């Protein structure tokens, strides 16, 4: 007999709605797993067991509803606020910060019927591609505990991969969902800019950071994405004048369950960082991309090739990334000293960016966005490696030399950040394994076409059955 965590989130949801499982039973099951496993993994920075049990009991007393996540456990990424729970943001600078109100995404997931079990680990202010901070132990990859889970949604990914959560929300400003999902063998979706009303990207500098799901199956990712887009199951409540066009098929869960359609796919193994860094893609990961392309051809899709257009992207993105850190609340020398070296470097560089240079970078990246969309226009899907390297060992990133650290992050994930700049949807899928560790591929879609990515992902999942793979500590 399978245990509850062996079931998909969608299967657990069905048990809840048939009355064969209560929210309290499911919450207790996952809290027990967190207590037993998280000491090795470091996925959580805060576990709110009593609040979670009270919330589960409250849902039971209210009775089953049509809320899309009714009774399902999840956790908040520790960049978002939950009223009454510390928000540590991966930083010593945030010690003692307990917000009085919740972030929009936290409130949305509550409205959708979710049960938060706590806060998942993130690097300092979510700025890096790895989750190793000075406020606690590193977040380890459940597949190989000597490697990291990636970042910045590293805690969320590690919790789902280890079966401590059925799925989890993350956020992605340069790969922060896709990087840890690929490292830990999960499905991770970065939605189009404007897709998720409570984390649309429109409030972030350059429109980069959007919210999206991490899950073990494509259908589970679609289930959580539907709730993030529309917590009450009605048409999304957009608080701005721009949003991604709706899926022609309606709810994403149905699209993921059907997994239908034949599409034109282009394979791309070049990145915008190739001209400034010595980008080397592990041949074994290239082999996984080639295998995926062959499998897509076997499934009836057209398969072609494309390349990344030439651009000034590296310099422009570097300016934007630095400027985006300028608002971190460190005003005094003492506060700056509490930041990690890479964060302090970003803050100081960002505050030194002239307005004219920032304006030019934003204009240049807008032109880059149009160039990328034009280059990808003939294709429904562009297939790339998600990462250039396998999961990095704990301590691999330079903790003192910020310039070297930045380069290492670009060498690890050269295929992710440009998708945020272009505002396009993307999904990473755990198609293969390399030396016992997961190997992911990235599918990039046309503006607003998450439905196509989910449909193609479902077709690959049916053939590969990656949902049956689990890490050794499962």
152 catalytically annotated: yes
Catalytic-labelled residue, pool 89, 102, 176, 311: 176
Question: Which distant-in-sequence residues (6+ apart) come within 8 Å of 394 by Cβ?
Answer: 132, 138, 140, 146, 147, 148
Q: How far apart are CA 5 and CA 336, in angstroms?
A: 42
Strand extents, DSSP E, 142-270: 144-148, 167-172, 187-190, 210-215, 264-267
Burial degree of 1 (CB within 10 A; 0-12, 13-18, 19+): exposed
DSSP reduced 3-state for 174:
coil
Residue with structure tokens 């992911």? 440
Tokens for 377? 């226009």
Cα(375)–Cα(268) distance, rounded to whole angstroms?
11
d(CA 249, CA 362): 34
271 is catalytic: no
**∠ CA 472-473-474 to the nearest 5 degrees?**
90
Q: Identify the active-site residue in 102, 152, 198, 200.
A: 152
Nearest to 416 by CA among 371, 449, 382, 451: 382
The conformational region for residue 328 under phi > 0 = left, psi -120 to 50 = alpha, else beta, is beta
Place of tokens 């304006």: 359
Active site residues: 77, 152, 176
């Amino acid at each position: 007999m399978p245990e509850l965590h062996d079931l998909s989130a969608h299967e657990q949801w069905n048990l809840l709605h048939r009355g064969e499982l209560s929210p309290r039973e499911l919450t207790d099951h996952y809290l027990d797993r967190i207590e037993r496993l998280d000491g090795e993994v470091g996925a959580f920075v805060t576990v709110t067991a009593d609040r979670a049990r009270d919330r589960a009991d409250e849902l039971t007393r209210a009775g089953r509803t049509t809320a899309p996540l009714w009774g399902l456990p999840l956790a908040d990424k520790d960049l978002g606020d939950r009223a009454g729970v510390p928000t540590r943001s991966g930083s010593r600078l945030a010690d003692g910060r307990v917000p009085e109100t919740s972030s929009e995404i936290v409130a949305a997931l509550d409205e959708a019927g979710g049960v938060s079990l706590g806060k998942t680990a993130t690097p300092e202010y979510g700025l890096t591609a790895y989750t190793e901070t000075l406020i606690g132990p590193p977040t380890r990859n459940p597949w190989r505990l000597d490697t990291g889970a990636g970042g910045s949604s590293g805690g969320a990914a590690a919790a789902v991969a280890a079966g401590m959560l059925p799925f989890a929300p993350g956020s992605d400003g340069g790969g922060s969902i896709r990087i840890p999902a690929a490292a830990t063998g999960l499905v991770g979706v970065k939605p189009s800019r404007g897709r998720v009303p409570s984390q649309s990207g429109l409030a972030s500098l350059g429109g980069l950071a959007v919210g999206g799901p991490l899950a073990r199956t494509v259908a589970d990712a679609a289930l959580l994405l539907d709730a993030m887009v529309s917590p009450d199951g009605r048409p999304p409540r957009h608080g701005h004048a721009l949003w991604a066009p709706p899926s022609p098929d309606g709810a994403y869960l149905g699209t993921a369950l059907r997994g239908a359609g034949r599409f034109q796919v282009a394979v791309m193994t070049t990145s915008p960082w190739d001209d400034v860094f010595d980008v080397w893609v592990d041949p074994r990961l290239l082999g996984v991309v080639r295998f995926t392309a062959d499998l897509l051809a076997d499934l009836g899709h057209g398969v072609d090739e494309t390349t990344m257009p030439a651009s000034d992207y590296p310099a422009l993105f570097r300016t934007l990334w630095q400027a985006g850190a300028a608002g971190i609340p460190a005003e005094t020398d003492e506060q700056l000293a509490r930041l990690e070296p890479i964060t302090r470097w970003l803050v100081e560089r960002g505050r030194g960016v002239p307005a004219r240079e920032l304006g030019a970078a934003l204009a240049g990246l807008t032109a880059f966005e149009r160039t990328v969309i034009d280059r990808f226009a003939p294709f429904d899907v562009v297939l790339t490696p998600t990462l250039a390297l396998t999961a990095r060992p704990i301590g691999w990133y330079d903790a003192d030399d910020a310039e070297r650290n930045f380069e290492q992050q670009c060498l690890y994930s050269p295929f992710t950040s440009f998708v945020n700049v272009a505002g396009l949807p993307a999904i990473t899928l755990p198609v293969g394994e390399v030396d016992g560790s997961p190997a992911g591929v990235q599918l990039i879609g046309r503006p607003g076409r998450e439905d196509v990515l989910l449909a193609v992902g479902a077709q690959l999942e049916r053939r590969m059955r990656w949902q049956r793979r689990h890490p050794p500590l499962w």
